[in-house]
Structure 1
Amino acid sequence: MNSTRLSRAAVIAVAGALFLSSCAANEADTAGGGSESDSTLSGTLVGAGASSQAAGQQAWTAGFQELNPDTTVEYDPSGSGAGRDTFIAGGSSFAGSDAAFDLEEIEAGEFGSCVPDTGIIEIPAYISPIAVIFNLEGVDSLNMDPATIAGIFTGDITTWNDPAIAATNEGVELPDTPITAVHRADESGTTENFAEYLSATAPDVWDAEVSGDWPYGGEAANQTTGVVDTVTNGTGTIGYADASQAGDLGTVAVGVGDEFVEYSAEAAAAIVDASPFSEGRGENDLAIELDRTSTESGVYPIVLISYLIACEEYNEAEAAELTKAYLGYIISDEGQAVAEEAAGIAPISETLFERASAAVESIQ
């Protein structure tokens, strides 16, 4: 067991449980001792938000509740916008969101579960590529540069054999099938991340303001599952979704510098590690300013960083205790590993873990 795993196991001890019950006795003692039955945590923790986190949250909930059998975690994957609204209203103790709160929202300080005028923490615990997915008979993968992707989703490119698509896919037989571009109907952090990428890399084509609301035409579908279902059940359809939901659909390798990069956890992690934290935020607000225009080899720039958002100080002690324990489990080696297996996320780096651990420890 290496030093990285030991430091993260200590975080799980906050949850009152052993990091790995199968470890040898000497390892278990080092990790904080105890066993699943030693947990004294009890109660129900309520969260809501990003549907992109659904598979990860299911894995985290199962793992956490196994270690803490007297707890219940309820996560409603209602979408990032709905989750942030629920957290603001005090209907949940934590939120999942594919976009961090704006500084203006944070300065307003209106978060129902938090002690007034205290800060919030935002932890980028779910890092995943956003896949550009499509359903075109006989085609499994296509190369597209940013301007072509933007042109498809603004409605400027309308057929699959358009010269812009053909130019980067020599030898691929492209039909004259009409393109149906599918987007999120609900306010979505996935939409905001996708729009941010297109605005940064193809500003001459994508000229709309970046937000979680879709600015152009096309076919609308609710939440991640709705977009995937619509693309799957259509002909000549294309959409965007958390890569964990791509399934057997065709996917786009995006142009980065002189190469085309397929999505992967490794490529997503590479772009995150190369990007700075956002300026002007509190010490425990770990919002990241992604460098979407990077031309470094092997980076995948259409990345979704989904945040776990919580109070630094809660109105209720039980909410603070449960949130602190649950978030500590999520950022641990074990928590990141189960979500990697279940949802294909890119585990956070040791450097990011250290900052996230300090943020979790600040909860009271």
Structure 2
Amino acid sequence: MKTRRFGQLASLALVGSIALAGCGSDNNSGTGTTAGSGSSSSSTSSDCFDGTLNAEGSSAQKNAFEEAAASYSEACSGATVNYNPTGSGAGIKQFIAGQVDFAGSDSALKTEEKDGVVETDAAAQTCGSPAWNIPMVTGPIALAYNVPGVDSLTLTPDVAAQIFDGKITKWNDAKIAAINSGVSLPATDIKVFFRSDESGTTENFMKYLSGAAGDAWSYDPAKVWPASGEGKEKSAGVAEGVKSTEGGITYVEWSYAKDNDLGVAKVDNGGGAVELTGESVGKALEAAANDGEGNDLRLKLDYATKEAGAYPILLVTYEIVCSKYKDAATATKVKGFLTHFADPEVQKGLEEIGYAPLPSSIEEKVQTAIAAIS
């Protein structure tokens, strides 16, 4: 599948406009990916729909979503798919408000009250049925850096925590040098960039630090960054900040690190330094525990894993859907597109742009859940 070409098409078409389309709506206004002729995907006519599908949320999955939407449009004449990458928090709010057909979030719906809202309860009220978290995009979180002359870098959870908390401030600090024998580290100031908007990527990176770095990280995971550094909006913002700043480092989805030609650190949780690859991320994801019930496929990741060859810093973007939509036509659209998105061929193609395909064991459960949407 020519995923890069699809992504280029999609980046022109998916301008992020959102028509008002709730869980029970069938609004065909707005702009998005429109169908072309021919097909190079595995979608069949039974998976296609005519009309518009609207979604909003995680910027981490933006590039993956564009790839899938573009190939779906080539296969399905008459289908338009809109995605607005405003961030996970905004996507959930829009879904609960009934403004989009489904949301993308880098964290599953919360089951406990926060800011006066229990997200699972609020989403169920909007849907008129339980909402499901369906894992779709595996987004490795890269520790992306810009240190000229340093082509190989390894970080441990403890050292990464101290860097991102502003306690290690020079690249040639003895603690960094101790785990990078033979690497010539400059005395350049470390410049940390963090997401200034509410971000599932931020929350997942903090879950990693909380789970793996022990006392070196004292903050509770949240979508808002609590520590030092310079804030930039969205994934593109922090990646561009590092690219333009010698000594810069950030946590960002692998796809953005690749797009900006940034260095990506290996991570050593205690089982040896692990390079970020699709295979190493898939190995970590397969070890995740199922934390949901039935077709609600929320996952519990083991960020502190010491398994050899498993890259531990990752996030899973969930597509948050109604299990039973108030409008049957909306359910058909959601099922059609997500069936395509979860197809192994489509998933494999995403690796070219910095994502890890769903492992087959999880992909089978995802397909079952999508088929059960009504």
- What TM-score, normalized by structure 2, do the two folds share? 0.84
Contact 2:124 2:130 in 1 (8 A): no
Contact 2:136 2:318 in 1 (8 A): yes
Which ranges in structure 1 are unaligned for 5 or more consecutive residues?
1-19, 24-30
2:50 corresponds, among 42, 55, 68, to 42
Structure 2 counterpart SS, 1:122? strand
Alpha-carbon separation, structure 1, partners of 2:347 and 2:89 = 24
- Structure 2 residue aligned with 1:230: 241
| 2:344 corresponds to 1:333 | yes
| 2:288 corresponds to 1:275 | yes
Alpha-carbon separation, structure 1, partners of 2:266 and 2:167 = 20
Structure 2 counterpart SS, 1:140? coil
Match for 1:272: what amino acid?
Answer: L
2:192 corresponds, among 175, 181, 185, to 181
Q: CA, structure 1 residues 243+61, in 2 after alignment: closer, same or farther (shift >3 Å)?
A: same
Match for 2:275: what amino acid?
Answer: E
**1:111: how far off?**
5.2
Match for 1:61: what amino acid?
Answer: A
Alpha-carbon separation, structure 1, partners of 2:183 and 2:346 = 41
- Structure 2 residue aligned with 1:354: 364
Match for 2:76: what amino acid?
Answer: N
Q: Deviations over 1:320-351 (max 9, x none)?
A: 1100111111111232133233x332221222
- Structure 2 residue aligned with 1:16: none
| 2:150 corresponds to 1:114 | no
- Structure 1 residue aligned with 2:213: 202
Q: CA, structure 1 residues 22+181, in 2 after alignment: closer, same or farther (shift >3 Å)?
A: closer
Contact 2:271 2:307 in 1 (8 A): no
Q: How does 1:304-319 map to 2 (within 5 A)?
A: 304-319=315-330
**1:188: how far off?**
0.6
Alpha-carbon separation, structure 2, partners of 1:100 and 1:80 = 10
Which ranges in structure 2 are unaligned for 5 or more consecutive residues?
1-37, 113-117
Q: Deviations over 1:143-166 (max 9, x none)?
A: 111100000000111111111101
Q: Percent identity?
A: 39
**RMSD between superposed Cα atoms in Å:** 2.1
Q: Deviations over 1:162-213 (max 9, x none)?
A: 1110111122221221111100001111111110001111121110111111
**1:257: how far off?**
2.0
Alpha-carbon separation, structure 1, partners of 2:304 and 2:123 = 34
**1:22: how far off?**
7.2
- Structure 1 residue aligned with 2:35: none
| 2:224 corresponds to 1:216 | no
Contact 2:197 2:234 in 1 (8 A): yes
Alpha-carbon separation, structure 1, partners of 2:131 and 2:156 = 38
Alpha-carbon separation, structure 1, partners of 2:230 and 2:354 = 27
| 2:115 corresponds to 1:100 | no
- Structure 2 residue aligned with 1:148: 159
- What TM-score, normalized by structure 1, do the two folds share? 0.86
Structure 1 counterpart SS, 2:141? strand
Match for 2:272: what amino acid?
Answer: E
1:296 corresponds, among 295, 300, 307, to 307
Contact 1:183 1:239 in 2 (8 A): yes
